[in-house]
Structure 1
Amino acid sequence: MVTTNLDKIFNPKTVAIIGASDKEGSVGNAIVKNFTELGYKGKVYLVNPRTPEILGIKTYQKIEQIPGTIDLAMIATPAKTVPAIMEECGQAGVKGAIIVSAGFKEIGSEGKALEDKILQIKNKYAMRVIGPNCIGIIRPRNNLNATFTNKMPKPGKIAFISQSGALGSAILDWANHENIGFSNFVSIGSMLDVDFGDLIDYFGTDPQTKSILMYAEGITQARKFMSAAKHFARTKPIIVVKSGKYTESAKAVASHTGSLSGEDAIYNAAFKRAGIVRVEEIEDLFNAAEVLGTQPLPHGPNLAIITNAGGPGVMATDALIAKGGKLAKLNKKTMDELNNALPHFWSRGNPIDVLGDAGAEQYRTAVEACLNDENINGILIIFTQQAVSKAIEVANTIVNLIKNKTYQNKTIITSFMGYGAVQEANSILNANNIPTYSTPENAIKTYMYMYQYERNVQLIYETPEERPIDTAPPKRPIMAILRNAAKENRELLTEDEAKKLLDYYNFPVVKTEAATTPEEAVAFAHQIGYPVVLKILSPQITHKTDAGGVMLYLDSDIDVKQAFNIIIHRAKKYNPKAEILGVTVQPMISMKGYEIILGGKTDPIFGPIILFGMGGVGVELFKDYSIGLPPLNSTLIRRMMEETKVYQLLKGYRNVQPANLKLLEETMVLFSQLLVDFPQIKEIDVNPLLINEKEACILDARITIDKSKVFKKLEPHEHLVISPYPKKYENPWTLRNGQEVLLRPIKPEDEPMWLEMFQSFSEESIRYRFFQILKDTPHEVRVRYCNIDYDREIAIVAELSEEDHKRILGVGRVSIEPDGKTGELAFIIGDQWQGQGLGTKVVDFVLEIAKEMHVETVYAIMLPDNRRALNLTKKMGFKLDYLSDGTVKGTLDLRDEMPSEKCPEPKSPEPTLEADKKDKATSEKEKTEKIKLENDAPPEAEVTSL
């Protein structure tokens, strides 16, 4: 989240081309021509020690000889020379560099060593670097082509980021042919420094960019990437093509979770969680970008298909079902309208076949009926040119319908099939922002991308909460198990250890004892009670059933002794090198239910992941599973379950009772928290988890650990890519009237209380806070305020509990800008709670947290008559400036303060008011006013900041 100095790259006033050349066809020559012949307005300097001028432009031997400061250095020299050149650039004050040179880590260890040197120099001088091994960047509106390709695209609203230079060059060529424009084009190469997360943050705040398109081969710094994508996906669609979908790099792994959760499936889960749309092909990138910016998003997968030909309707239906969509069920009113208006032989269902001789009026009737049907989320209109059909009339009819505001909340896409006969109709549709496609399949594909985007963005609004410390399971006994295994140089916990760990964490685990002799097994069987189950206990035998290492329904001492010997014999035969520790003895569970697998593993890029799916022996046979990234709450978990076929089974069928889904959700939330709390867990399989309508039980579990993390001091949650609820900032505090409130970070669940607080504000408070009088705030705005990314924003609420009712009295917030160093302060206290010292305390608290988050400067924007906010910020050390737009900007430099190791505990105010102590000579009226000014802090900053 640090975009510092990226402006030096994307808006340079001075550029030095190092490696400029007069050799026609060379990279250095192409770069010079792009800067000098395509209209770039800034100053360009050429660096080449072997020639005095290039293309009539004076050259310099070194960058240090250039007068003034250089914003951007374009480096096009052999790889081995780049570290020394970077050092010279740093000494000369250059803050941005694009390295187009190749020959770095892609060639091996020697190239990697060069990259390491460049990285050290970049950090030393606080430079930003794009590349190496890249094409460069283009900003058409600025006539900036900092690449060695001579293709200058037209200006547009799309920012395109490519990890492949060759593909990027091809895209530029294709976009010019298709008349597609760009706000920015970036080839990022090896991502030594600037990566996808940086660019999403930068383009997210670029007013010329409406959508962000990416070609990605891999992601670096996943937490930064996820945070940036989640932050901007709500307002700017982020669409990605990710290559490597079917890589053959899977290695043999010991757990079901490890074998199922491949790299591509994890990327899919991460993209969904971040609100990113993943498409299949490059063309889909631009199709999706076009439609996401012009059409309302469908709130469901239910599509109505209107066609004048049966075949294309069937093709569209096949494509819709294949991609997870549904044919909308037409309601009775729609059916009646269609029956009255269409010929007797119409299809009488969805797809709606208006027949081949249908004209504009039949299309109008069908489309209007579907627009009024609440069962329908979107409409696909298919037109094929037939003898009496008139494409232009049909197109104009659709346009006129869409102009009616009543119908502007429903998605409409079209497929006018053919070429010459429908070309003008397609132009009419495109001119009115109605997407049209040459085939129904492409139209369906785009519709489902739209639905996927809507669904993914909704996922962003679900922020999980860290488990409360007072109800969390004890961690010391669990760490004792992990340490014991690590001391014995084991990665794999025994089954007995694994189940004990889960039992400590309050999972419903079947009682399990480990026996090393037949006699011990009999003794444990007596303790547990017959019938029992025996299973092989060996670190090397993962799949016990395959080894013949499981025997069921043992109901006597003789059976147990015989089973013990048989299992040991089979295990030795199955794997002669395996270490046989004995057997486990468990009760024979008689409960009937559904078998589920819960799995987890640590991904090298995205950290811990969770797998849910059909369990038992069929887990790898059916491969019915979904993946999520913790922390997860019940809503996110329900979404995970809905992606699987076994979910339909869990809801019950025929005479079988449905599973207790609430209990399953609670178990999965607990499972998610286990992976949040213990980064030492490398892989875990709970398979099967048996669940029915009443209870759940874990029958088997397998856990491997990362020994390197067991004795290492780890920062809290450093292994996660999604920041959990920061429980550490919860603190009680007492108002002046003696009532106790809880100061804590805001949560998504606070939306109803936030609305109640808003509705209690006076018009004056609302005007101060929002700079206008608002009667209400829509759900989307409330969600934005309550559902925040704790990595880039902190909002502290004061919560008052009154018997069975809770309310929010006020909010203080610091929103961190993409540079990571600047934050905007906003605060508001409910009118009836002003004068209690709460405004001062909340603002003080969020400023301390901001300092802990390494924010250097905080500002607040206020109205000039908001005296209470002006006084409060001034008291906090803000310097106030009156701006030309009539507002007041307060600025606080946190670097002037002593560094804070941790956020201090809030303390209740002294019973004697500070204002009384400071000013004995002030009149009673002035004193009262001063107290109000200092302690009440209603609104001040922009609506986007609360």
Structure 2
Amino acid sequence: MVSSNLDSIFNPKSIALVGASDEEGSVGYILMKNLTEMGYNGIVYPVNIHKPEILGKKAYPGIPQLPQTVDLAIIATPAATVPDIVEQCGIAGIRGLIIISAGFKEVGKFGKLLEEKIIEIKKKYGMRIIGPNCLGIIHPDIGLNATFISKKQKTGSIAFISQSGALGSAILDLAAHENINFSNFVSVGSMIDVNFGDLIDYFGTDPKTRSILMYIEGITDARKFMSAARHFSRTKPIIVVKSGRSIESAKAAASHTGAITGEDMVYDAAFKRAGIVRVKDIADLFNCAEAIGKQPLPKGPNLAIITNAGGPGVMASDSIVSLGGKLAQLSSETIEKLNSVLPSHWSKGNPIDLLGDANALRYVAAAEACFSDENVDCVLIIYTPQGSSDPSEIAVEILDLYKNKKFSKPYFTSFMGYEDVEKANRILTDNGVPTYSTPEQAVSTYMYMYQYKRNLELLYETPVELPVESTPPKQPLASIIRNAAKENRKILTETESKRFLEYYNIPIVKTRVAKTVDEAITYALQTGYPVALKILSPQISHKTDVGGVRLDINSEPELRSAYEEIMKSVKEHNPDAQIQGITVQKMVRKKGIEIILGAKTDSLFGPVVMFGRGGIDVEIYKDVAIGLLPLNQTLARRMLEETKVYRLLKGYRNLPPANINLLEEIVVRFSQMLVDFPQLKEFEINPLLINENDAFALDARGVIDKELLRAKPHEHLVISPYPEKYRSLWKLRDGRTVILRPIKPEDEPLWIEMFRNFSQESIHFRLFQTVIGPVAHEYSARYCNIDYDRELAIVAEIEDEGKRKMLGVVRLNIDPAENAGELSFIVADPWQGQGLGSKMVDYMIEICRDKQLEKISAVMLSDNYRAIKLFQEMGFTIESLDDGTQRAVLDLKEEIS
């Protein structure tokens, strides 16, 4: 069932149109015509203060005069009148509003004040609002057209959400021409209330919506957006066009990371992390939606190309390689098959050139060989009109082959031309085969599909559990931040920055601070030559730029000379800089690769981590990848793999492979440091030297945000981190101690082992079905890799005979729209009878109170007597449902109030 939270807007049984008009061409006139002439069967009440009748319907002077409380009010009146109308709607009990009117924050200060007043009224009455300054909505399934677009839409399976009304109108027109239909269309406007996250939640649970398309200019609530997208992208493709790729990053960045990681890169990282497919333009949006909805996802990047013309085959080959895919290497068996059915002078490889006189038989033979080849993940069939071959016959024969053989690989077609191939293209389109006017369009769509598949795989890949200390002492580091703030500086010194790394077990080169040249000589003798000298000043972030670094100093005379040169150069470049001294550190003679590991705080998505090629040329190469916090081993590896320097790290020519496992640990520790300290606005390790054995942070720089000294834990993150606070100890009845803690992705092996200890009866009571055979990764990952904002699972873990074992799980699924949760629990059969089930449920109820949920429930089979008794003892009310199950309900609202 779709959440009822927005049903008053998308499934209204009655509507009031405030600003209805009978003046042809006006917005109120077009809205009224669309509401009454497009097939909507609900009641429509026109509201107009001046006229008793609009288009044959009785009109009412205002909301208070309506004969009933309607589900939805559509407001199309001047902006200044809107707050009073919204207040009237609230008093009348109307819960859904669409504000078409413009003239709010987009026009200046007065409009912004109007918006703020509307938001205040909305909160007072608990209403939901789409807009203002929007086009409206269309729900074809119920004939609802609440827009001023006078075009009837057919029912489809795609929800389309647009931040631009004008663009939305154009896209609806284009989609109608391309025979693409929607389950819903929404123009979100200024999003003072209902936003992208709300709509993903709503359409994610709509059984008639199979995919979600979005045109985005900017996101308002990033945390809600990420939570909703991560939750539903695994079951429904979410495809996005995001405008504004060329927006520059912040001008005044105190680190390389801040300068390189622009807004668009952060959006890219966020979309990947959420499993969203980002496409470049509107044509790709629909191509991708159509293909993902009708074709199986490819298992890999290897494309086979079948063509009757060499040129288009080369074009497709260039396109697949440039987009990061691969030309499939045909197996020897496939080559033999093709040799036996094709002319002797066929291309003998991929692309498979069938020659200009190719008929349907040749196409079918080549397609069957490719579909059967394990090296081929997808097939592109290109046809150009030439010779006497019939394109329609080719289309029909390929369709029959695919259906009869029941192949499970995606395939695309590009029947090039217009009139000659029109019938063939219609045959293909009507049977759900994506077909394109050019091979490049087909290849681009295939790679988007592969990207979507790869995103989901990596998103739910089980990470290795790393030996990362998650709770180092934080007070000493908090003290460093407070002291810097008291001194009215935002840049941490190198020694202060390295102190952070040291606490998080990120290897550093020991650094000493010398106030005088004699102190520097003493430290150099203690450290041992050769040494490096660097200026230490809060006002100098890039030391090399001011001549503040000297390397490979091998003696006292060299050191004295270097010291004087640094001081002289720094004073010339920055005479006002406060010089705190010179740092002395041992030169690292070990060979290795220099990388950069940095972080910056994005204004929307919060802290992001950057990894890439390091050293002084980092801004020239810009070989970097970024990721959103928090990171685990899988996500860290994914960041590494996105860079070119990763090829060096794996070993290249005479360069041995670097210790990538250690590097992953460092990235995860770095991520945890940023999770723990929201005050770190920017942080950078550059360079971090890594070789086959060791890693060393040679230089570090931190930048703090003094405004966040009293920030609450984790409010700076858009993805909820592991909730460590819900870890607890408890004793079984036999006296053994168990750990109660939240589940995490790394727990998948333990979860699978526990599942093997479930009897079929236990599985039946928990899942309402029988499960036979091994558990697939896609299934188990779903239970271990969760979004802690909307789902929580507490596991009971024990060490038994030297092994960690999972004994049971209690799970909470949160409905963010209703502020309610649903409980379920299971205890592995060998551990039943120890009081564990009662303890886990009791513990989860306490967590529900901590999260301030208003209601929790659980659904059970009617013969699950032990569970029913347990919930009764916990104070739940038990009720019977129509399907024969029992529901236990506990109202926590009174406790909260």
Tell me the TM-score normalized by structure 2: 0.96
Query: How much has 1:818 moved relative to structure 2?
Result: 4.5
Which among 847, 850, 853 is matched to residue 852 of structure 1? 850
Partner in structure 1 of residue 772 of structure 2: 775
2:789 to 785, 788, 791: 791
Q: Distance in 2 between matches of 1:139 and 1:214?
A: 16
Whichever residue aligns with residue 584 of structure 1, its letter is: T
For residues 202-258 of structure 1, what are the alpha-carbon distances to aligned partners after superposition, in whole Å with 9 as ceiling and x for unaligned?
Answer: 011111111110000001111110000011101111000000011246423221101
- Say whether the 8 Å CA contact 2:248–2:262 is kept in structure 1: no
Distance 1:474 1:465, change over 3 A: farther
Amino acid at match of 1:160: F
State the partner residue of 2:636.
637
Equivalent residue runs for 1:178-193 within 5 Å = 178-193=178-193
The Cα offsets for residues 162-210 of structure 1, whole Å up to 9 and x where unpaired, read as 1011111111222222222111111001110100000000011111111
Contact 1:746 1:795 in 2 (8 A): yes
Say if 2:760 is the partner of 1:763. Answer: yes
CA distance in 2, matches of 1:161, 1:406: 35
CA deviation string 1:308-327 (max 9, x = no partner): 21111110111111111111
Q: Residue 60 of structure 1 corresponds to which residue in structure 2?
A: 60
Partner of 2:294, secondary structure, is coil
Cross-structure match for 1:875: 873
Deviations 1:723-765 (A, max 9, x none): 1221222222222233332222222233233333333333322
* 2: CA distance, partners of 1:260 / 1:767: 53
Measure how far apart 1:812 and its partner are.
1.6
SS of residue matched to 2:617? helix
How many corresponding residue pairs? 895
Is 203-212 or 821-830 further displaced after alignment?
Answer: 821-830
TM-aligned CA distance change 1:248 to 1:865, over 3 Å? closer
Asked whether the equivalents of residues 658 and 690 of structure 2 are also in contact (C-alpha less than 8 Å), the reply is yes
| CA-CA distance at 1:122 after TM superposition | 0.6
Q: Which residue of 1 aligns with 2:747?
A: 750
Give the match for residue 624 of structure 2.
Answer: 625
Instruction: Indicate the residue corresponding to 1:524 in structure 2.
Output: 523
Q: Secondary structure at the match of 1:214?
A: strand
The question of whether the paired residues in 2 share the 8 Å contact of 1:732 and 1:741 is answered with yes
What amino acid is aligned across from residue 492 of structure 2 in structure 1?
L
Per-residue deviation, residues 648-670 of structure 1 (Å, max 9, x unmatched): 11111111111111111111111
Q: CA deviation at 1:142?
A: 1.0
* Paired AA for residue 732 in structure 1: L
Query: Does structure 2 conserve the Cα–Cα contact (< 8 Å) formed by 1:17 and 1:45?
Result: yes
Shift in Å, 1:501: 2.3
Task: Specify whether residues 804 and 421 from structure 1 end up closer, same or farther in structure 2 by C-alpha distance, changes over 3 A only.
Answer: farther
Q: Partners in 2 of 1:106 and 1:166 — Cα distance?
A: 15
Contact 1:824/1:859, CA 8 A, preserved across alignment: yes
Tell me how far apart the structure 2 counterparts of residues 541 and 862 of structure 1 sit (CA, whole Å).
64
Give the aligned CA root-mean-square deviation in angstroms: 2.0
Match of residue 918 from structure 1: none
Taking a change above 3 Å as real, the CA distance of residues 563 and 468 of structure 1, as seen in their structure-2 partners, is: closer
After superposition, residues 504-543 of structure 1 pair within 5 angstroms as: 504-543=503-542
2:723 to 722, 726, 736: 726
Which whole-Å CA distance do the structure 2 matches of 1:231 and 1:213 have between them?
16
Distance 1:37 1:362, change over 3 A: closer
- Superposition pairs of residues 513-912 of structure 1, within 5 angstroms: 513-710=512-709, 712=710, 714-776=711-773, 777-896=775-894, 898-899=895-896
Q: CA deviation at 1:865?
A: 1.9
CA deviations on 1:475-522 (whole Å, 9 max, x unpaired) are: 111111111110000000112221222222221111222223222222
1:829-882 Cα deviation digits (max 9, x unpaired): 222322221221122222222232232222222222222222222222222222
Asked if the contact 2:468–2:665 (Cα under 8 Å) also holds between the matched residues in 1, the reply is: no
Paired letter, 1:858: I
Q: Distance in 2 between matches of 1:332 and 1:464?
A: 37
Structure 2 counterparts to residues 133-172 of structure 1, below 5 A:
133-172=133-172
CA distance in structure 2 between the aligned counterparts of 1:333 and 1:501, rounded to whole angstroms: 59
Deviation at 1:430, TM superposition (A): 2.0
Distance 1:756 1:794, change over 3 A: same
Please say if residues 230 and 460 of structure 1, whose CA atoms lie closer than 8 Å, have aligned partners that are also in contact: no
Contact 1:535–1:551 (8 Å) recurs in 2: yes
C-alpha deviations, 1:36-74, integer Å up to 9, x for none? 222222222222222222223222222112122122111
Sort the Cα spacing of 1:155 and 1:699 in 2 relative to 1 into closer, same or farther, 3 A.
same
When normalised by structure 1's length, the TM-score is: 0.92
Cα distance 1:257–1:463, how it changes in 2: closer, same or farther (>3 A)?
A: farther
Matched position secondary structure for 1:546: helix
Contact 1:601-1:683 at 8 Å conserved across structures? yes
CA distance in 1, matches of 2:126, 2:57: 30
Whole-Å separation in 1 of the counterparts to 2:313 and 2:564: 65
Deviations 1:430-457 (A, max 9, x none): 2322211111100000001001111112
What's 2:214 paired with? 214
The aligned runs of 1:155-554 (5 Å cut-off) are 155-248=155-248, 250-404=250-404, 407-408=407-408, 410-461=409-460, 472-554=471-553
Amino acid at match of 1:847: I
Whole-Å separation in 1 of the counterparts to 2:250 and 2:752? 50
Distance 1:241 1:717 in 2: 29
Separation (CA, whole Å) in 1 of partners of 2:340 and 2:849: 69
Matched residues, percent identical?
Answer: 62
- Matches of 2:752 and 2:498, distance apart in 1: 45
Matched, 1:102 2:99: no
- 1:613, 1:644 within 8 Å by CA — same for their partners in 2? yes
Segments of 4+ moved more than 4 angstroms: 462-471
Q: 1:313 to 1:783 in 2, by over 3 A?
A: same
Distance 2:403 2:465 in 1: 47
Q: Alpha-carbon deviation of 1:773?
A: 2.4
Instruction: Please identify, of 832-841 and 631-640, the stretch whose mean Cα deviation from structure 2 is larger.
Output: 832-841
Shift of 1:4: 6.0
CA contact (8 A) 1:549 1:571 kept: yes
Distance 1:298 1:630 in 2: 29
> What SS does the corresponding residue of 1:491 show, helix, strand or coil?
coil
CA gap of 1:460–1:652, structure 2 versus 1, over 3 A, is closer
How far apart, CA to CA, are the structure 2 residues paired with 1:181 and 1:702?
53
**Structure 1 stretches lacking a partner, 5+ long:** 901-946
In the aligned structure 2, how far is the partner of 1:34 from the partner of 1:504? 65
Distance 1:724 1:464 in 2: 15
Q: Aligned with 2:616: secondary structure?
A: helix
1:307–1:382 Cα contact (<8 Å) kept? yes
**1:468–1:70 CA distance, 2 compared to 1 (3 A):** farther
2:623/2:643 contact within 8 Å kept? yes
Q: Give the CA deviation at 1:461.
A: 1.6
Change (3 A) 1:249 1:609: closer
Moved more, 351-360 or 62-71: 351-360
Structure 2 Cα separation of the partners of residues 385 and 766 of structure 1: 58
Check whether the contact 1:463–1:747 (CA below 8 A) recurs between aligned residues. Answer: no
Secondary structure at the counterpart of residue 546 of structure 2: coil
For the 8 Å contact 2:596–2:686, the answer to whether it is kept is yes
In structure 2, relative to structure 1, the CA distance for the partners of 1:149 and 1:395 (3 Å cut) is closer
1: distance between equivalents of 2:447 and 2:522? 60
**1:474 and 1:505 in contact (8 A); partners too:** no
SS at match of 2:287: helix
Task: Report if the CA contact (8 A) 1:554-1:560 is conserved.
Answer: yes
The answer to whether the Cα contact below 8 Å between 1:463 and 1:633 also exists between their aligned partners in 2 is: no
Separation in structure 1 between the aligned mates of residue 527 and residue 770 of structure 2, nearest angstrom: 70
**Cα shift readout 1:390-417 (whole Å, capped 9, x = no counterpart):** 3233222321232246522x22111121
Distance 1:564 1:865 in 2: 83
